[in-house]
Amino acid sequence: MLSDDPATAGPVIALQDGSVAIDGRPVLRHLNLTVNRGEFVALMGANGSGKSTLVRTLTGLRPLSRGTLQLFGTDFGRFREWYRLGYVPQRPSAAAGVPTSVWEVVASGRLTRRRPLRPKSAADRAAIAGALEVVGLSDRARHAVTTLSGGQHQRVLIARALAGEPELILLDEPTAGVDLPNQEALAQALAVLKERGATVVLVTHEIGPMEPLIDRAIVMRDGQIAYDGAPLTDADVHTPLFGGAHAHHHAHPEPVSDHAVNVSSPVDSHPEVSS
């Protein structure tokens, strides 16, 4: 298939038999996932179930140890159309040493569509302004990011992903530790994206104000997909069916069902499952 092909028919994400190992430990095992154009997918599951790892795999930040990943019908190894992809990481990176304005952070997301050594075009500036408007932070454009609250910072990171006008947006727990007014602002921004026909994969612990947007829910459990189907409510996710997926953020010992021997000596600490 030609990479320039509009390819409106084919799936946006096609992961087949995908496995990921972190430091030799298998974390994701034999996953099959297909996401079609325009879908709004909520990816849920307990801490350590592998949902963050899955999203990072889909961006290429985690290499597959086996299986194949195709984005927009192109094998990931040959995928170069980065402007079609938008990524919102889990946490704002540690505050940088030099003051940085909100506008500058958002503008860095536009690099997917800019060639080096060329000035920003009018279209670039319009896209950056538009992205700030979608998350409701236009009036903060000239402020230093360090003056923002955690929820506002998270919205800046979403605007940064939007500045490249992507067709597929992957968000890694944008609502974690964000207060309700900011969650609602996030939901509004995502609603605008959905209207524009973007494909959204959202990792989340709680559904909250996102509920009306979600088309499909996927629940991860111990590195595998435990549920894939109609949207769930917050109450559903908390049932023991999904691996005792309490929405608690403090650590409950995870049930470890790995092939590896868990305790090799009485003084060994409990093996942790990293996400």
Instruction: Rank residues 199 and 237 by Cβ distance to another protein and give the closer one.
Output: 199
Residue whose CB is less far from another protein, 18 or 86 = 86
Adjacency order of strands within the sheet including 25-35: 25-35, 13-22, 66-71, 74-75
Q: Which residue has the tokens 């028919």?
A: 9
Q: Which stretch binds another protein (CB under 8 A): 1-9, 39-47, 111-119, 131-139?
A: 111-119
Q: In the complex, what is the shortest distance from the CB of residue 262 to another protein, in angstroms, rounded to a whole number?
A: 26
Closer by beta carbon to another protein, 143 or else 238: 143
- Gap between the terminal Cα atoms of the chain: 34
Least Cβ distance, residue 67 to another protein (angstroms) = 20
Q: Residue 143, interface with another protein (CB under 8 A)?
A: yes
CB-CB contact of 187 with 156 (8 Å): no
**Contacts (CB under 8 A) with another protein, residues 113-132:** 114, 116-117
Q: Using the structure block, give the residue that is written with the tokens 């360090």.
A: 146
Q: With respect to another protein, which residue has the nearer C-beta, 93 or 264? A: 93
Would you say 116 or 266 has its CB closer to another protein? 116
- Compute φ and ψ for 225, nearest 5 degrees: -85, 120
Write each residue from 158 to 177 as x if it is in contact with another protein (CB under 8 A), else as -, in one continuous string: --x---x-------------
DSSP labels, 129-189: HHHHHHTT-GGGTTSBGGGS-HHHHHHHHHHHHHTT--SEEEEESTTTT--HHHHHHHHHH
* CA–CA gap between residue 257 and residue 178 (Å, rounded): 32
Provide φ and ψ at 214, rounded to 5°: -75, 130
Nearest residue to 201 (alpha-carbon basis) of 184, 212, 192, 213:
213
- Give the whole-angstrom CA distance, residue 110 versus residue 118: 13
Q: Which of 7, 21, 111, 129 binds another protein (CB under 8 A)?
A: 111
Contact flags string 70-109 toward another protein, x per CB under 8 A: ----------x-xx-x-x-x---x--xxxxxx-xxx-xxx
Which residue lies nearer to another protein by CB, 79 or 227? 79
Q: Which residues form the interface with another protein (CB under 8 A)?
A: 59-61, 80, 82-83, 85, 87, 89, 93, 96-101, 103-105, 107-109, 111-112, 114, 116-117, 142-144, 147, 160, 164, 181
